[in-house]
Amino acid sequence: MFGSRRGARSRDGPPVESCDRGVSEHRDQGVVLKAIATPYNQAHHLFAVFTACFTLVVITAGASVTSNDAGLSVPDWPTSFGYLVKVPPLVGGVRFEWSHRAVAGSLVLFTLAIALWTLLVERRSWLRKLAVAALGTVVIQAILGGLTVLFLQPPVVSTAHAAVAQTFFCIAVSIALFTGRQWVEEVPKVEVDSRRPSLVTLTLLSIFVLYVQLILGGMFRHKGMSWWPHVAHAVVVAVVLTWTAIRALSVYSKIEAVRRPAIIMLSLMIAQLCLGFMAFLTRVAWGKDPVQPERPMVISTVAHVAVGALLLATTVVLAIQVWRHVPAALAERVPGTERTPQAA
Ligand code: HEM
């Protein structure tokens, strides 16, 4: 993937590919990309896509627990009413909490499977490490979920549980991206980014402001903070993401791998702002001290969490694609950095 790009400039000429002892070389616009050739494995990729999609299901199920105020319906952990696998009567909040535990438990098993599968079939060492990191993250996430129950939902722990969930989602989506046919087989079309701040910087800034927004939203949702820092920071998120999308679309619209996530990111951001507004109306303005969770509040807040996760993951994909397709930006910011050829 991110092989030696700088210092490998050669004569101009049409894109060429050559293979030498498993190292492929792509020349485009005078820049040479070197990468360890890796075969596309369809079954492995499809399972990675499935795991990423399933993660969104688990995040949605987790959001339903909070929105339905069902977090402590099952008082013990890791057992549920004293049993590891026995299904309790699915009444009241137990429906949401136990279902979330069931799908989350399945996700741990899927993650174990994708990690082992990746270790077995993958040649790229950094991707093997990422798969192991995914397994570590899902285990941390399960422990945080347990601590939330055992310590009666401290806001900081519940917020950490929300943030690590979305981090795991981003890792799962990245594994799906890196194992895809397009990633493995395409010759990246490389362009030079000489603007400042560079598009790479803008995408990293977008990820940062989204994380801050996720933490502020989590702290409010879990009653550790007022609502206004989250709503005020939404303005920062809107400005930074719009700036990033406009730069990507105005300068690099010819690069499909950059254009597509930029458009999706912008669309999701607009949807997320609308959902945030609806969540605010139903939770804060109209929903003070309800006898029980109202359906409009549940639907809008769960959708707001799910679209927030999709927005963060799309922004991570955009950052990765920008790093791949607009590498000169990074190389020129850090003069003298040479990267040894690595696997694509
Ligand atoms: C693109 C910008 C935004 C992002 C990325 C975002 C993200 C999030 C996330 C991830 C959460 C839940 C955290 C958790 O899992 O516990 C959340 C909660 C919340 N957000 Fe946003 N948000 C954005 C904009 C807004 C706006 C503009 C408003 C209001 C006008 C808003 C209102 C809320 C409310 C009320 C909650 C709490 C929902 C609840 O109590 O269940 N958000 N936000």
pLDDT in tens, 194-253: 888 999 999 999 999 999 999 999 999 999 999 999 999 999 999 999 999 999 999 999
* Protein residue closest via CA to atom 14 of ligand 1: 218
297 lines ligand 1 (CB under 6 A): no
Of 25-34, 101-110, 115-124, 264-273, give the lowest mean pLDDT range. Answer: 25-34
- In this predicted structure, the answer to whether residue 328 has a pLDDT above a threshold of 70 is no
100 lines ligand 1 (CB under 6 A): no
pLDDT at 187: 80
214 lines ligand 1 (CB under 6 A): yes
Helix%, strand%, coil% for the chain, nearest 5 = 65, 5, 30
Residues 324 and 212 in one domain: yes
Which atom number of ligand 1 is nearest to the Cα of residue 221? Answer: 40
Final residue of a domain: which of 161, 185, 209? 185
d(CA 56, CA 282): 23
Q: What secondary structure letter does DSSP report for 209?
A: H
- Count other C-beta atoms under 10 Å from residue 23's C-beta: 15
Final residue of a domain: which of 152, 185, 218? 185
277 lines ligand 1 (CB under 6 A): yes
Q: How far away, in angstroms, is 38 Cα from ligand 1 center?
A: 40
Residues 119 and 46 in one domain: yes
314-326 confidence digits (pLDDT tens): 999 999 999 999 8
57 lines ligand 1 (CB under 6 A): no
**Phi, psi angle pair for 20, to nearest 5°:** -135, 115
Q: Is the dihedral of CA 261, 267, 271, 273 positive or negative?
A: positive
* Protein residue closest via CA to atom 21 of ligand 1: 276
Which atom number of ligand 1 is nearest to the Cα of residue 280? Answer: 35
Residues 195 and 176 in one domain: no
Sheet with 23-28, side-by-side order of all strands:
16-20, 23-28, 31-36, 342-343
Residues 8 and 49 in one domain: no
Contact in structure between 322 and 200 (CB atoms under 8 Å): yes
Residues 84 and 129 in one domain: yes
261 preceded by cis ω (within 30°)? no
4 pLDDT tier (thresholds 50, 70, 90): very low
Q: How far away, in angstroms, is 274 Cα from ligand 1 center?
A: 10
* Protein residue closest via CA to atom 22 of ligand 1: 276
Which atom number of ligand 1 is nearest to the Cα of residue 67? Answer: 41
301 pLDDT tier (thresholds 50, 70, 90): very high
Give the mean pLDDT of 272-290: 92
230 lines ligand 1 (CB under 6 A): yes
d(CA 1, CA 228): 41
Which residues constitute the domain of residue 16?
1-35
Residues 64 and 135 in one domain: yes
Q: Residue 89 contacts by C-beta under 8 Å, 6 or more apart in sequence?
A: none
Residues 297 and 316 in one domain: yes
Final residue of a domain: which of 131, 159, 185? 185
Residues 243 and 130 in one domain: no
Q: How far away, in angstroms, is 90 Cα from ligand 1 center?
A: 29
Q: How far away, in angstroms, is 220 Cα from ligand 1 center?
A: 9
Give the containing element (helix H, strand E) for 33.
strand 31-36
pLDDT at 22: 42
Residues 31 and 60 in one domain: no
273 lines ligand 1 (CB under 6 A): yes
Residue 107 corresponds to which tokens in the numbers above?
């996700």
172 lines ligand 1 (CB under 6 A): no
- In this predicted structure, the answer to whether residue 298 has a pLDDT above a threshold of 70 is yes
313 lines ligand 1 (CB under 6 A): no
54-111 confidence digits (pLDDT tens): 999 999 999 999 999 999 999 999 999 999 989 999 999 999 999 999 999 999 999 9
118 pLDDT tier (thresholds 50, 70, 90): very high
C-alpha count within 13 angstroms, C-beta hemisphere, residue 25: 15
Residues 220 and 148 in one domain: no
309 lines ligand 1 (CB under 6 A): no
- In this predicted structure, the answer to whether residue 327 has a pLDDT above a threshold of 80 is no
Which of the pair, 321 or 35, is modelled with greater confidence?
A: 321
311 lines ligand 1 (CB under 6 A): yes
- In this predicted structure, the answer to whether residue 329 has a pLDDT above a threshold of 90 is no
Residues 164 and 313 in one domain: no
pLDDT at 287: 75
147-203 confidence digits (pLDDT tens): 999 999 999 999 999 999 999 999 999 999 999 999 999 888 778 788 889 999 999
Which of the pair, 186 or 304, is modelled with greater confidence?
A: 304
* Protein residue closest via CA to atom 35 of ligand 1: 280
Q: How many domains does the chain have?
A: 3
217 lines ligand 1 (CB under 6 A): yes
pLDDT at 44: 98
Which atom number of ligand 1 is nearest to the Cα of residue 159? Answer: 16
pLDDT at 102: 96
Residues 212 and 261 in one domain: yes
Give the mean pLDDT of 118-132: 97
279 lines ligand 1 (CB under 6 A): yes
